[in-house]
Amino acid sequence: MTTINVGFIGLGLMGHAMADNIQNKGFRLGVLAHRNRQPVDDLVAKGAREFSNATELTRAVDVLMLCLPGTPEVSQALAGDTGLLAGLRPGQIVIDCSTGDPNRTAEIAALVVAHGGYYLDAPVNRTPKDAQAGRLNVLVGGDADVLEKVRPILACFSETIHHLGPLGSGHKAKVIHNFISQGNATILAEAFCTAAKNGIDLAAFAEICSMSGGNSRTFERIIPYVLRGDDSGQQFALSNCEKDMRYYTELTKSTQTTGIVSDAVYQTFMLAKALGHGDKYVPRLFDVLGEINGVSVRAKPAESNA
């Protein structure tokens, strides 16, 4: 077991899998208490130490990792008398694996630096299943020398680690990538809704797409919902997609690049939330488009054998 102590805040589906791999690879792990006891209890049973607040956790570890829904949650974890910053020691490294708002990355980093720490924005690509298998892609922004110090920790749960450039590059690359992925999901949902509305055999249409330009990693992850009602391929909430697309559209505005398509994609996820689907996984976007257009975007039982 390594003598490096790693603290982890944010034990959702992705964070729990990442923390589990860190612990399994021999790092000493400290975790923050949470109302969702299952991931905390699982890691504690394997030897992790639980702390009641972020200050106590920070004082007990060498490296802090955050895997939270977005920048507001990161800000909350940092702030206050029991926050991360209250316990930060000079030289400690904070690795933010959250999908953060690129327009606020410098602000978050400055808070850490002001307390003598180092900050890396290091969001991840792929799914919780990939996290459990240790096959995530890590997108890092920040000082290359700091990255090298923590590379062995990141390697615990990743297949590849990419240094994208200076501070903020990781968050920027992440939301740009998510625009591609979530935009693809929106196009697929709209297209299959139109196919259903026109009476096209959805299983046959899916087979055609799988053999041609309609195929993609996103297609492979979400189309099983149309065919078999299986939404496990993309375990990411539609409300998180709305947040990511908001971050991306704001990035286009701050860099004065066109965001014509992204505005439409953002509004689609915003509508999904407004209709009460925010806590559902991405494949359920087919239901959202179906609800709007008065059609079921699901293959009929006979079609699913095609």
Catalytic residues: 174
**End-to-end CA distance of the chain, in Å?**
52
Tokens of 136: 């995530």
Q: What are the phi and psi torsion angles at 140 (to 5°)?
A: -110, 135
Helix axes of 169-197 and 260-274: crossing angle, nearest 10 degrees: 70
Residue 226: helix, strand or coil by DSSP? helix
Q: What are phi and psi of 73, to 5 degrees?
A: -70, -35
Please name the helix (run of DSSP H) or strand (run of DSSP E) that holds residue 64, with its range, or none. strand 63-66
The answer to whether residues 119 and 108 touch, using CB atoms and an 8 Å cutoff, is: yes
Cα 78 to chain centroid distance, Å, stands at: 19
Q: Are strands 118-121 and 124-125 parallel, antiparallel or unpaired?
A: unpaired
Give the helix/strand (H/E) hosting 93: strand 93-96
Residue 7's nearest CA partner among 21, 27, 25, 37 is: 27
Q: Which two tokens stand for residue 45?
A: 């049973």
Q: In sequence order, which ranges of the chain are alpha helices (DSSP H)? A: 13-24, 37-45, 54-60, 71-78, 84-87, 105-114, 128-132, 144-154, 169-197, 202-210, 217-228, 238-254, 260-274, 285-293
Tokens read off for 13: 């589906």
